[in-house]
A and B are shown apart, each in its own frame.
Chain A
Amino acid sequence: MSLFLREALREFWRGSLSKLGVIFLSIVIIVSFYTTTTMPLDYGTRFWSNPVFWVNNPKAAPPEWVNTFVSPKLLEHKVLSTSLPASVDAVEGSILKRYSVSYKLGVEQFPQFFNLEVSNLTYHEAPPTLILSILKPDGYSIDLYTFIVERPFENESIPFIRYTLEPKRVLLSGEVQVARALSNFISARYGELLSPSQIIDIGYEQIIFGERSALKSFTPLKGTYTLTLTLASRNPNDNIGSCRFILGGQVYGLMGTDLLGRDLFSGLLFGFPVALLIGFATSVITTALGAGLGIMSGYIGGRIDDLIQRFSDIVNNFPQLPLLIFLTFIFGGKLWVIVLVLVAFGWPGLTIIVRSMVLSVKGAPFVESALAVGASRLRIMGRHIFPQVAPFILSQLIFYTPSAILSEAALSFLGLGDPTIPTWGQILEYGFRNGAVYLGYWWWILPPGLLIIYSAITFVFIAMGLEPVVNPRLRRWR
């Protein structure tokens, strides 16, 4: 390592901001690395923009940890799954396999919804029947929902397997059958006659997970419930691969959900590598282009210099955001379009400064001596002039990174982001468009913005730490 570099590094490391910046950057890199290795690259199209994938999540739910601060406690989201039958009985020639889980309702709240998912069901003879029932803590049991598995297709061979790619989803709140079952339950339990439409008015969850306090009002019944899915079939080999009982809560996960029930934590996580990619791709291409043109313009001079200077002077004076909006609007918000457009308007500032720096070293003795021993123009630019301006270019590269991240976020916020890749800006845009600020959904607004700031400030800190290295005049003032 050369003496100069060591000196520069020491000077850089002396600043507290640069230390902070380096720590922040390593966190960003570690999280990005973790995300890219654990999440699929087509996460955006396959999961994020696919509403079906999120159907079992509560909508616009705050994160779970708010329960530390609020009282009364909010109900947590629960997904209970099982793949082994709890009991197997043979009754009058049919086999009953019971898959059950127990659910403990510990707070004075009703679950928001109750969904059932069945996947990989196998049968060998007649289509089996599935019965969903619940045993309440007070000892009463309700058969909520019954359905028969689809019959075999023509020419289908045994065994018949169902629900392999997509599980069978039953959203109980949308099923009229449940209303009839609950109506029967109420007449048996309380001796009242309520029509199915009255049941719908009260709400299924209220009756299933509640205790009657007045004619039509129910209070949550705390305790342990047993949820059972019974498979009634002819063949003992018929079975269910797995079944999941989903009890919608009011709080969800680490970061809550948005209006579609999407887990914001995963979206925010995916934003890390995307932000890093946009920032680095844009700033590297921009600085390479800007510095290259600047060195050429400064060293070669003449007509090329004139041309580059006129052009960069004009492009440098373009109002950026209106043109960014215009171009991404016309060409469509794809990630590479956004990067290219950012590059197209980012380079001239650097070209102008680098040119003036090159002019000042152009006449230096070491350049003249290189010229005297017959070095080519390319070699002089690459080996003698470039190292002189390299520290400055490096600091500009880092300084330009946050502005690329911020520009992409701004475009996303205006609805021009790449719809196939979730970014922090897009999460905010979706929140803003659906009134998250007016409804006080802070968990949807604060984290993405804070992450944008975090990733931008990381590079600002490093750039500020580099400033005294590049511009020794500022060194004395610390």
Chain B
Amino acid sequence: MGLGKTLAVRGLTLIAVLFCVLLLTVAVIGATGVSDRILNAMLNERLRGIRQVLSTQITDPDELNRAIEAIEDDLIHSYGLDQPWYVRMPSMLARIIILDLGNARTIQTFTGSRLVSDIILERLPNTILIMITVLIINFLVGLIIGVKSATRPGSLLDRFISIYSSISYAIPTWWLGLLMILVFSFYFRLFPFGGMFSAPPPTELIPRLLDLIWHAAMPIITLVIALSGSWIYITRSVVITTAQEDFVTVARAKGLSERLVMWRYIIRVAAPPILTNLMLGLAAYLGGAILTETVFSWPGMGLLYYHAIVSIDEALILALTYIFTLIYVISRFLLEVFYVILDPRVRYG
């Protein structure tokens, strides 16, 4: 398979994933009657607006009611509320894709908009910021420490890594966050309890940036500690397995320097499977981000999830599930591209 074809196949799978998730959510909300509730809420919101406008033009209350009833019938038809849920599945699907889901129940944007799409777009960058930072730090930490412990299996560092990775696998990210707040915010007063900026936020660029870093430090450290363990361990296992291959023995027999053997013969070969594992771990990053944001009141989409659950906001949860799947699919695809660049078997195959 050539490069383009490989990417196309992977891309299609990911699009299928996105589509299946959307289909699943639409079917679930349709069958349980949630979509009726969402559409009805949107309808009532529109009607209220129309009533306000009309009441300035039509003074006779009977006539006003008749006019509004006519409009309501039209709207019910246009929203598809007069049809069973499976008939309006395609339109509901389209609605989710463009985030046309009406207003959130209680949550607002900074500027006061209650539209689901506005709220999500406002929070999106904050989540991406945390996720990318953590991904980069973890990638480096995992590679450096994983390779180091693989070169000396059985050493003190190596044994420490096995224990650390099993603890880090078993530790709930969000609980680690609670622990960090308890220790560093409550007892030592070193870091803020949560949020993204101090109140009031600094206005100049440099202090503002420092304030942001100060607030972001704890969520990022929490995620790195919680997620790096298994990642280091996998890197170590892959490197150890590769180091037992015959061509590595041959390279050593040729008298090549250990450094050269390590980087050119072991790590270069181990890179694609390591990347594969990074891809498989991506879902854990998303999950970790949702929970960590909640713990640290980081105003991203994870915290939004929590608020949506607490305020029983179905439209918002639907939108968030879609957006998280979208982020996941896009970042998976980016990693696939990276994989193709790294693995020559795919490139020239």
Contact = CB atoms under 8 A, between A and B. Distances in A.
Interface stretch (A153-161, A240-248, A442-450): A442-450
A452 B175 contact: yes
Contact of B179 (A322, A323, A446, A473): A446
A147 interface: no
Interface in A394-429: 402, 406, 409-410, 413-416, 428
A448 B174 CA distance: 12
Contact of B28 (A330, A413, A414, A460): A330
Nearest to A445: B178
Contacts of B287: 319-322, 410
Given A331-B32, A414-B291, A415-B310, A428 B166 contact: no
B203 interface: no
Nearest to B180: A437
B32 A330 contact: yes
Interface stretch (A67-75, A130-138, A310-318): A310-318
B201 interface: no
A366 interface: no
Nearest to A322: B324
A60 to B, nearest CB: 15
B235 interface: no
Interface size grouping (class) on chain A: 35 or more
B163 to A, nearest CB: 8
B169 A402 contact: yes
A228 B249 CA distance: 88
B23 to A, nearest CB: 11
Main secondary structure of the interface of A (DSSP, over half): helix
Given A326-B321, A413-B291, A414-B305, A437 B170 contact: no
A329 B320 CA distance: 13
Interface residues of B, number: 55
B36 to A, nearest CB: 13
Contact of A445 (B13, B17, B179): B179
B304 to A, nearest CB: 11
Interface string A354-388: 00000000000000000000000000000000000
Nearest to A441: B182
B17 A449 contact: no
Contact of B244 (A438, A448, A473): A473
B240 interface: yes
Given A440-B187, A453-B170, A477 B240 contact: yes
Given A325-B305, A327-B28, A464-B166, A317 B17 contact: yes
B321 A317 contact: no
A415 B290 contact: no
A449 B166 contact: no
A319 B283 contact: yes
A357 B182 CA distance: 47
B6 interface: no
A406 B288 CA distance: 12
B162 A17 contact: yes
Contact of A415 (B174, B241, B309): B309
A456 interface: yes
B317 A329 contact: yes
A453 B154 contact: no
Nearest to B29: A330
Given A330-B34, A461-B166, A474-B240, A409 B172 contact: yes
Contact of B332 (A317, A406, A477): A317
B153 interface: yes
Interface of B: 13-14, 16-17, 20-21, 24-25, 28-29, 32, 34, 153-154, 162, 166-167, 169-172, 174-175, 178-179, 181-182, 185-187, 193, 237, 240-241, 244, 283, 286-287, 290-291, 294-295, 305-306, 309-310, 314, 317-318, 320-321, 324-325, 328, 332
Closest 4 CB pairs of A and B: A321-B287, A456-B170, A449-B175, A322-B324
